Amino acid sequence: MNEQLAAVDLGSNSFRLSIGRLNSAQPEGPIDIVLRLHEPVHLAQGLNSKGELDDAAIGRATKVLRLFRKHLKNLPSDRILAVATNTFRIAKNANTILKEAEQALGHPIEIISGLDEARLIYKGVSYGLKPSNSNRLIIDIGGGSTEVVLGHGTEPLVANSLALGCATLSQRFFPNAKINATRLELAQLAAQQQFKTIAAAYKKHTWATAYGSSGTAKGVSAILQHKGWAKGPITESGLNRLRQQLIRDKKVAVENLPGIKPTRVPVLPGGLAILLAAFQAFDLTELAIGDGALRQGVLCELQHSLCQSAT
């Protein structure tokens, strides 16, 4: 008999739901994903000058969570794990919002720490990769935070979470959606300053491959592929060509960026600045794309917990 379990990820830019199926004959084996939902909420953009989420953002969040609830109604509560990330961590009215979010979802939500988020991201990305005897570096650029994890196999060795996201950086340096060389440079410098605080710990190690996960890396990769600026992994030359395109257009011109999703338009300049800064901070030559990330890591965590309780 097959059994289902669900992961809910309340990110700073998007909310995501994944429902997977376990095979009772091999409960610790591969998880078959039967449903994926990805809904843009732009939660981080709702933080006001007091550091509180405004009513509009809360409304967008609860609307999506009510949608998710319909897909979770037949699952036992011990087979659902919902986690909230950076915007919930920093919002001054997080406790109030959490109650409304839990009521909309119909299930408890855990606000996880940045380090827990990094650990789960590493687990999720590793799940989709072939076994390797070499270290891996994983960079996950979210809406409100960036997680950088160096690990071996399925275990992280060095992990950090920075309050640096594609949504928050875009909002800070490109508030009116206008792009120029100076703004991009300032955004990249801001990201570099944060990466510099952690880079030395990673450079003590070596890694065979660096992976980018989540929306920013996948979105930028899609643009580079469609433009013919990259044939595989993200490269620095491809990022610089994208940078020049944005400067020429003075905005994110969708007609000149085949492959971009509408939801990525407002956060692309901030995400690009973070990627450029990461290449410099970690001396990267290329960045492969890793599937999985936080949702898959949450599913793996839930799977392990269920298997442990069954023994």
pLDDT above 70 for 73: yes
Cα separation of the two ends of the chain: 18
Give the mean pLDDT of the chain. Answer: 93
pLDDT > 90: percent of the chain? 82
Q: Mean pLDDT over residues 202-211, rounded?
A: 96
Question: Average pLDDT for residues 104-126, to the nearest whole number?
Answer: 95
pLDDT of 27 strictly over 80: no
User: Could you write out the DSSP letters of every residue in the chain?
Assistant: -EEEEEEEEE-SSEEEEEEEEEETTBTTS--EEEEEEEEE---GGGB-TTS-B-HHHHHHHHHHHHHHHHHHTTS-GGGEEEEE-HHHHH-TTHHHHHHHHHHHHTS--EE--HHHHHHHHHHHHHHTS---SSEEEEEEE-SS-EEEEEEETTEEEEEEEES--HHHHHHHH-TTS---HHHHHHHHHHHHHHHHTTHHHHHTS--SEEEEEHHHHHHHHHHHHHHTS-SSSEEHHHHHHHHHHHHHHTS--GGG-TT--GGGGGGHHHHHHHHHHHHHHTT-SEEEE---HHHHHHHHHHHHHHHHHH-
Return phi, psi of residue 52, to 5°: -110, 150
**Residue closest to 211 by CA, chosen among 297, 133, 171, 151:** 151
**Domains detected in the chain:** 2-114 (3.30.420.40), 130-290 (3.30.420.150)
Instruction: Specify the pTM.
Output: 0.92
What's the pLDDT band for 113 if we cut at 50, 70, 90? Answer: very high
Average pLDDT over residues 213-221: 92
Q: Which tens digit of pLDDT belongs to each residue from 93-111?
A: 998 999 999 999 999 999 9
Cα radius of gyration (the chain) = 19
Task: Give CA–CA dist 127/131, Å, rounded.
Answer: 9
CB atoms near residue 34 (< 10 Å): 12
Res 298 pLDDT > 80 = yes
**In sequence order, what are the residues at sequence separation of 6 or more whose Cβ sits closer than 8 angstroms to the Cβ of residue 4?**
19, 20, 21, 22, 34, 75, 79
Arithmetic mean of pLDDT, 145-172: 94
Q: Residue 11: pLDDT band by 50, 70, 90 thresholds?
A: very high
Q: What span, in angstroms and rounded, lies between the C-alpha atoms of 146 and 123?
A: 16
Which residue has better confidence, 29 or 252? 252
Report pLDDT for 311. Answer: 64
**Model pLDDT for residues 238-297, shown as the tens digit of each residue:** 999 999 999 999 999 999 999 998 989 999 999 999 999 999 999 999 999 998 889 999
**Separation CA 114–CA 6 (nearest Å):** 21
Instruction: Output the pLDDT for position 23.
Output: 77
